[in-house]
Amino acid sequence: MKKFVFRGSMLSLSLLLIMLFAHSCTSVQSKEIEDTFQVTNGYLTDTVAYREYVAELMAFNAVEIRNRVKGFVEAILVDEGQEVTKGQVLFRLSSDEYNQNLDKANAQVKRALADLRSAEIELSNAESLFQKKIIGKPERDMLEAKVDALKANVSEAKSSESQARLNVSFTEIRAPFNGVVNRIPYKVGSLIEEGTLLTKLSDPSEIFAYFNLSESDYLNLVHQSNIDQIPDLKLVLANNALYNQNGKVETVETEVNSQTGTIGLRARFNNAEKLIRHGSSGKVRLPSVLNGAILIPQRSTFEVQGKVYVMVVKPDFTVEMRRVEIESTLPNLYAIRSGLKPNEKFVFEGFQRLNEGDKIRTNEISFLSKLN
C-alpha cells in the first residue's frame, strides 16, 4: 500500500510541474508590451537590382617589351610612367657588331651579284657558240647550271643582308602602340640576353573587366535579354568608389568551368582619364530585372547565424520571428525571394526589444517615406 501511495505522489508532482512550466511558457509568449511600435509592409514593384562580381581589370593593350638581339643597353630614352606614342624609340642597344655584320652582308651580296653577272656573260657567249654549233649542248647546259647556282647564292646573300639589317634595327626597341611605360629594371650599361624583359607597355585608354557568373546567374541573365542587349554595367573600384563611366558586356566564354561551375564574361569601360591601371581590381555591378519584387528596408532586418529575419506582426498583434530569402540588395533595401507576403506587417524598427510571442501595440507607416 505504501508503495502505491508513493507512486501516486510522484505522478501528481510531475503533473504539477508540467502545468507550472506550461503556464510559465504561455505567460512569456503572450507578454504584452505597452510601447507602440511602428509597423509596415513590403512594397511590391518591378525594379532593376544590381549584383556585384569580383572583376580583374586589364588594359585594352598590354605587352611585355623584350629585346630581340643580345647587347649592352646604350641608352634609355623614356622614363617609368611616361606616355609614349607608337614607333617611339624606348631603348637603344650597342649596334657596332651588328653594323659590321651588315657591311659584310652587303659585300657578300655585291660579290654574289658580280659572280652571277660574269656567269651570265659566259652563258650568253656559250649560247651564241652553241647556235653556231661550235660547242655542244653539254657545255652550254653546264654554264646554265652555273648561272642557276649563282642566282641561288645571290638570294642567300640577300637574305643574310636582310637579317643583318633587321638585327641592326632590333638594336632600337620601339613602342608597338601608344601607351604608358611601366617599371624599367635595367640601366644603361647592362648586358642583356635576347628576350630579356625591359619593361611593360599598356594602353589604358579603355579597360576590359573580366568576371565570372555562376551557371544559374548566367542562365537567368540570358533569359531576361540577349547578351548584346544587357543594360550598361557599373564598376566599383578598389576603394569602393563608383566609377564615373558605364561599361558594356562584349563577349562570353564558350565553356562553363567544370571545377567552379562558372562562366567568364568580358565588359569594356572607357578610361580616357586613365584613372584605372592595368592589373587593377574592382567589382562589376550587373543589372537584373526583378518583376514583382517585394522590397523591405534593410534596417528592419537582423541576422542570426548568417540568415536574415524580420519580426512579423500577426493578426492578433503578437510578433513572430520570420526568415526571409534575399534576392538582391538595393540601396537601403532588400528585394526578397520568399518568406513574406506583400500584405503582411512587420516591425519597422525597435525589434531588438522584442521576443517572439510578445504582443504589441502598432502604428502603421509607409517605410518609403522614412527612407527619403
Per residue in 220-266, pLDDT (tens digit) is 777 766 666 777 899 999 998 999 999 999 999 989 999 999 999 99
Helical (H) or strand (E) element with 123: helix 96-131
CA–chain centroid gap for 37, Å, is 47
Residue type, 227: I
CA dist., res. 304 & res. 101, Å (int): 78
Residue type, 37: F
* 292: pLDDT strictly greater than 50: yes
Q: What is the DSSP letter of 30?
A: T
Average pLDDT over residues 299-314: 94
How confident is the model over 314-339, as pLDDT tens digits? 999 999 999 999 888 888 899 998 99
3 burial level (CB within 10 Å; 0-12, 13-18, 19+):
exposed
This prediction's pTM: 0.65
pLDDT at residue 282 in the model: 95
How confident is the model over 96-150, as pLDDT tens digits? 999 999 999 999 999 999 999 998 898 888 888 878 888 888 888 898 899 999 9
Across 19-52, b (16+ Cβ under 10 Å) vs e yields eeeeeeeeeeeeeebeeebebbbbbeeebebbbe
Residue type, 153: N
CA dist., res. 136 & res. 101, Å (int): 43
| Least confident stretch, 125-139, 144-158, 182-196 | 125-139
Residue 372's pLDDT band (boundaries 50, 70, 90)?
A: low
Strands 281-297 and 89-93: unpaired
Strands 359-364 and 32-41: parallel
Domains of the chain: 31-46+292-371 (2.40.420.20), 51-60+202-291 (2.40.30.170), 70-93+171-195 (2.40.50.100), 95-170 (1.10.287)
Q: CA angle, 222 as apex, 220 and 224 as ends, to 5°? A: 70
How confident is the model over 200-213, as pLDDT tens digits? 999 999 999 999 99
Average pLDDT, the chain: 87
Cell of 195: 628576350
Average pLDDT over residues 154-169: 95
Q: Please check whether residue 233 is in contact with residue 287, taking contact to mean a CB–CB distance below 8 angstroms.
A: yes
Q: Please check whether residue 285 is in contact with residue 233, taking contact to mean a CB–CB distance below 8 angstroms.
A: yes
* CB within 8 Å of 244: residues ≥ 6 apart: none
* CB within 8 Å of 279: residues ≥ 6 apart: 56, 57, 58
- How does DSSP assign 253-306, residue by residue? -SS--TTT-EEEEEEEEE-TT--S-TT-EEEEEEEEEEEEEEEEEGGG-EEETT
CA–chain centroid gap for 229, Å, is 20
pLDDT at residue 30 in the model: 55
- Which carries the bigger pLDDT value, residue 48 or residue 28? 48
